[in-house]
Amino acid sequence: MPKFSRRLALLAAVTMPLALGLPSVGRAEDLMQVYREAQQYDPVLASARASWTATQERVPQALSGLLPNVGLTGNANYNDGRTTIKVEPRSITANSYQNYNYAISAAQPLFRMQNMIAFDQAKQQVAQADYVLALAQQDLMLRVTVAYFDVLLAEVTIELNDAQKAAVSEQLAQAKRNFEVGVATITDTNEAQAKYDSIVAQEIVSRNDLDNKRTALRAIIGRFPKSLKKLGPGFEPQPPAPNTLEAWVQRADADNLAVRVAQYNYDVATLEVGRARAAHYPTVDLVGSYGNNAGTGSIANDFDISGRTATIGVALNVPIYQGGAINSRVREALAQQEKFRQDLEIARRNALFNAQIGFSGVNSAVALVKAIEQTVISTQVALESNRLGQEVGVRTNLDVLNVQQSVYSARRDLAQAYFNFLTSTLRLKASVGGLTEADLEELNRRLGG
């Protein structure tokens, strides 16, 4: 058989279990459908969105420290007074009256260095929140994809187990028939029975694994998934583009989302050092007030009274000594700055490591897929040869069963290699901050039915 035709036959043989799947319930769901649902119901992403929304309020809160502060106070009192003179001639004076007053005060900061730095910090934190949310969205894409393909691989394993179980069952029945007519020993029957029992045990493990993988996907979308679309035929793994490590490493250093988040943390910490030192600086405010008071008398008379006051001026506050608290806060801020500087370095090294590992992983996955494809072809040919050898008496039933086991193991390994390639490709893009929904949509188009 020509190499190309043989490879097409191989892919058809391997992807058939992927396309068949387990019994469907309604229409199969594809990767993008599962991802859209995860966007709505995944609690991790929901938490990140709530955090992003909360962070947006940092700017108006910090801006308030640079805007006027206006307050209104007032009170109204009813007074009942009584005076008794006990010396002769005795007299009693009673008087009741009301007092009313209100005051409006306002202060406009003219120079408050701490508040100005706090406003800069808030703008940095809001900008950082976009990358934190993008990191959570990128993480969701990876979690959904891995969970989706984990379910598919578990289904493939069960399908291959069922196929192997049927094949071994046929071998077992043939061994029993041959033993009954005296052309085979009981050993062939016992060996086939042992293989059959082993597959039954493996089937239990495989079905439990499928339940676990479906539960993992449920933790993301909030329900058990229905039948999922399988990987379609004609799949051809490709190496990274560009296929040079240096290009991916440079992108990781410049665009990795975790590095950008860490950079903002360091920038905010640097501003915090300046804010702590600014506590030594004086503050200058423009202040003003207006007050009005009125009454219907006092304890001494019953004359109506009223008055008002208005003031405007500049208030200067110079901190001189606060028990060493300011210097302590500066030292604390410097230590925090160093902490975030080291965190930034860790993020950069991790980004470079992930890019290098991801790049090598994709290329290794491409090579592994090709190698296992050839393994499947070789084991299939070996199986056919052993079956022929068994017919002419040069191979035993155990030989056929062992090669048959190798065929199904190789097919399962090939499905695993396909899925590893796909997830490795997404992880590589994530390491450089380039994983987008368009990548998921492209992957989704590779799914069959």
User: What is the per-residue pLDDT for 183?
Assistant: 65
How many Cα neighbours within 13 Å face the side chain of 427?
22
Radius of gyration of the chain (CA): 39
User: What is the per-residue pLDDT for 4?
Assistant: 41
Sheet holding 305-317, edge to edge: 69-85, 91-111, 283-295, 305-317
Stretch 113-117: mean pLDDT: 96
CA distance 340 to 268: 9
Is pLDDT above 60 for 204? yes
Of 88-92, 197-201, 378-382, the poorest mean pLDDT is in 88-92
Angle between helices 397-431 and 3-20 (to 10 degrees): 80
46: which 2 tokens?
């929901």
CA distance 11 to 118: 61
Is pLDDT above 90 for 281? yes
| CA angle, residues 319, 323, 324, in degrees to nearest 5 | 90
Q: How many residues does the chain have?
A: 449
Stretch 418-436: mean pLDDT: 93
Is pLDDT above 80 for 50? yes
For 375-407, the pLDDT digits (tens) are 889 888 888 888 888 777 767 667 777 788 888
Is pLDDT above 50 for 444? yes
User: Are 198 and 405 spatial neighbours (Cβ–Cβ below 8 Å)?
Assistant: no
**Which is higher by pLDDT, 199 or 428?**
428
Stretch 398-422: mean pLDDT: 86
As a whole number, the mean pLDDT across the chain is 87
Is pLDDT above 50 for 19? no
Q: Which among 169-173, 384-388, 429-433, 443-447 has the top mean pLDDT?
A: 429-433
Is pLDDT above 90 for 1? no
Of 10-19, 54-63, 328-337, the poorest mean pLDDT is in 10-19
User: What is the per-residue pLDDT for 447?
Assistant: 82
11: which 2 tokens?
């892919």
CB atoms within 10 A of CB 288: 15
CA distance 388 to 382: 10
Is pLDDT above 70 for 6? no
CA distance 236 to 215: 30
CB within 8 A of 72, min separation 6: which ones? 102, 103, 104
Stretch 122-134: mean pLDDT: 97
- DSSP secondary structure of 389-417: HHHHTSS-HHHHHHHHHHHHHHHHHHHHH
**pLDDT classification of 14: cutoffs 50, 70, 90:** very low
Listed residue (216, 213, 211, 176) closest to 193, CA to CA:
176
Start-end of H helices in 181-256: 186-221, 245-255
The DSSP secondary-structure symbol of 234 reads S
83: which 2 tokens?
């005076």
CA distance 48 to 34: 19
- Contacts of 246-253 with CB under 8 Å at 24 or more apart are 248/355, 248/356, 248/358, 248/359, 248/428, 248/431, 248/432, 249/352, 249/355, 249/356, 251/355, 251/432, 251/433, 251/434, 252/351, 252/352, 252/354, 252/355, 252/431, 252/432, 252/433, 253/348, 253/351, 253/352
User: What is the per-residue pLDDT for 78?
Assistant: 87
User: What is the per-residue pLDDT for 21?
Assistant: 41
User: What is the per-residue pLDDT for 93?
Assistant: 66
Stretch 120-145: mean pLDDT: 96
**Which is higher by pLDDT, 383 or 213?**
213
CATH of 3-69+112-280+323-444, one of 1.20.120.10, 1.20.1600.10, 3.30.479.30, 3.30.43.10: 1.20.1600.10
